[in-house]
Structure 1
Amino acid sequence: MDRKHFRPGPLAQVSRVPVADRWDLVLVRDLRHPPERVWAALTEPARLAEWAPFLASRDLGAPGEATLSTVDGDRSLDAPSIVLRADPPNLLEYTWGDDRLRWELDRTDGGTRLTLRHRIGRPELAPVMAAGWHLCLDVAGHLLDGDPVGPIRGREARDFGWDELRAAYAERLETDGEA
């Protein structure tokens, strides 16, 4: 796909769940690839560099410390990370600064049901994070399809429908009684 023609796909299944004094943004996407291929995209630094909002200092497929560097244009911000659980190709859980990400991969007839649980500090961040992950996962889908469009990160996301996605996810979260 020509990058300039990239447009985000339909909204994902989304919810915001209170957990103690924080919230989990839960985003569910179906991918038409087996969990083993999705796992590689979630853990291998070279593949993460093609779609994720950060660069990883090492393979995330094993427990231990890492650094995740958020990228925005020519700027990057390093955040400490600890891979807490790595059960290939079913479950990956790690910290990203103060947040926690849990990726659950369930095999389906058509590929993988991917559930992201992103623990956030404030409920109003849910639509912002949902929009960002939506774009990232759309880009990951193209990468897995063999049709890479390149990463869409930081302010550049506004050029690819981020504002509209944020508004749509905010409305969906309110409609679902989550706001």
Structure 2
Amino acid sequence: MSFDVGEARDAQLAGTGEPWTLVFIRDLRQPPPVVWAALTDPAELDQWAPFRAPRDLGETGPLTLTMVDGDTEEETPAHVRVVEPPTLLEYSWGQDRLRWELEPHGGGTRLTLRHTLVEPTDPASVATGWHVCVVVLQHLLDGDPHGVIRGQAAKDYGFDELRDAYRKMFV
């Protein structure tokens, strides 16, 4: 099956050092309540996100998110801090903070992800990971699910080239 993840776009880094925040913006064709469900429902998250969630993220409180890479799984503590359906979701993921903002835009939704990273890491790799995830999310929302792309499997979809493009964008 051919699956095009597109080109690097609509991402920037905020801040001057650690921690820094990746600001990642995408326009989706569905209205905010539909996108909200995909961001919070564990069954939908398992089809596009880099982790599995044991419960609905639309409820505040602690939980454990499980990163999956092939046969390897890594559990990371998380805490849902802000839930304002269908416009704002914020939670910790380990030491990182993810803030998902949804606003109506042209009949669909403008999704803004602000991923604040505390641990030193490659911002281009983080942007590329979210890029691939959101492309898979859009297919899911369009009723054309591709199946989740996690970890090393992303290399089969041009991860390295896309990461290089984001790296150039962030210089």
Tell me which residue corresponds to 2:29.
32
Provide the rounded CA distance (Å) in 2 between the counterparts of 1:104 and 1:24: 14
State whether structure 2 residue 42 is matched by structure 1 residue 51. Answer: no
Matching residue's letter, 2:166: Y
Provide the rounded CA distance (Å) in 1 between the counterparts of 2:121 and 2:76: 22
Provide the rounded CA distance (Å) in 2 between the counterparts of 1:123 and 1:8: 26
State whether structure 2 residue 22 is matched by structure 1 residue 5. Answer: no
SS in 1 for 2:170: helix
Q: Is the 2:18–2:120 Cα contact (8 Å) retained in structure 1?
A: no
RMSD: 1.4
SS in 1 for 2:49: coil
Query: CA 1:35–1:147 in structure 2 vs 1: closer, same or farther (change >3 Å)?
Result: same
Q: What percent identity do the matched residue pairs reach?
A: 52
- Give per-residue Cα distances to partners, 1:24-71, cap 9 Å, x unaligned: 000000000000000000000000000000000110001111110000
* Runs of 4+, deviation exceeding 4 Å: none
- TM-score, with length taken from structure 1: 0.92
Matching residue's letter, 1:7: D
Shift of residue 7 of structure 1?
1.4
Tell me which residue corresponds to 2:69.
72
Shift of residue 123 of structure 1?
6.4
- TM-score, with length taken from structure 2: 0.96
Structural mapping, 1:145-156, within 5 Å: 145-156=142-153
Q: Is the 1:94–1:101 Cα contact (8 Å) retained in structure 2?
A: yes
Provide the rounded CA distance (Å) in 2 between the counterparts of 1:168 and 1:161: 11
SS in 2 for 1:136: helix
Q: Is the 1:23–1:123 Cα contact (8 Å) retained in structure 2?
A: no
